[in-house]
Amino acid sequence: METLNKEKNTLQTVDRALALISLFATAAKGLSVLDICKQMGITRNTAYAMLNSLVAEDYIERDEVSGRYFIGCRFYERAQCYLNRFPIINIAERHMTRFTREYKPYQVNLNVYKSPMRTVILLVHYSESTPRVSSSFSTWAYASASGKTLLAFMPENKLTHDLEGCDFKPFTPHTVKNREELLAQLEDIRKKDYGIELEEISHFRGCIAAPVRDMSGMATATVSFPMDALSIRKNELTLAREITYLAGEISTELGYSHGLYR
């Protein structure tokens, strides 16, 4: 019989399976059964039962030499389906491809907002001369250029709702410290029509982002240039002109009548 978690109104077995998957997502060297038992506080029998179910469907893979378990290929396959929810990707990719050919030093990201207070990178496009850098595909909205830009143009009631409970965890000394500081930055973004993040998530790195609007005028996504913070400080106006122009081109194709900004 399934056990109900009354506090969350969820099933314990599902909660445990999701917690196990979260462990594997950050375990580059894999996990042993003992690791899983210690970290989750479960018995070996429970751990093996969960692993056997996930291994059978290729969500978890077992290394035959070491006996350790790793995240499986099925997650990669299923993750691609998530992108089908966003028709904007096909439109944005054409413009991002052309843009990175013309402006070769740049990496361009397409980002969307996910409640509460997260931004997700849907698409990363590199120019041929852009060095590949590893980055998270999800981050806190209050500390990122894209997140703050999307928050700035969000309906006020939703912004108020999503700010509730935000603890403003600091990643560096430059991270936004509280609600008041964030709201002041959002007002500045509305005036400029672009957002900036300088060393708020990691040292020496920064980002500049502009809103992509649909035919109703709602900012549904952003395009952004992640790069070193020094380059943004030195070239903010040039970068702002370029990123808002790219965002405007995509917005225009989405039906926004005032999408072109230069």
Q: Are strands 60-62 and 10-11 parallel, antiparallel or unpaired?
A: unpaired
- The 3 state secondary structure assigned to 5-39 is ECCCCEEHHHHHHHHHHHHHHCCCCCECHHHHHHH
- Nearest to 147, CA basis, from 182, 174, 106, 192: 182
- Nearest to 39, CA basis, from 53, 54, 24: 24
Delineate the domains of the chain, giving CATH numbers in brackets. 4-78 (1.10.10.10), 86-253 (3.30.450.40)
Decide: pTM greater than 0.75: yes
pLDDT in tens, the chain (262 residues): 445 555 556 688 888 989 999 999 888 899 999 999 999 999 999 999 999 999 999 999 999 999 999 999 888 788 777 777 888 999 999 999 989 888 776 789 999 999 889 999 999 988 765 555 445 578 999 999 999 999 999 999 999 999 998 999 999 999 999 999 999 999 999 999 999 999 999 999 999 999 999 999 999 999 999 999 999 999 999 999 999 999 999 999 999 986 444 4
Residue in the structure block whose two tokens are 């964030």: 182
Q: Do residues 141 and 158 lie in contact, with contact meaning Cβ atoms separated by under 8 Å? A: no
Give the amino acid at 1.
Answer: M
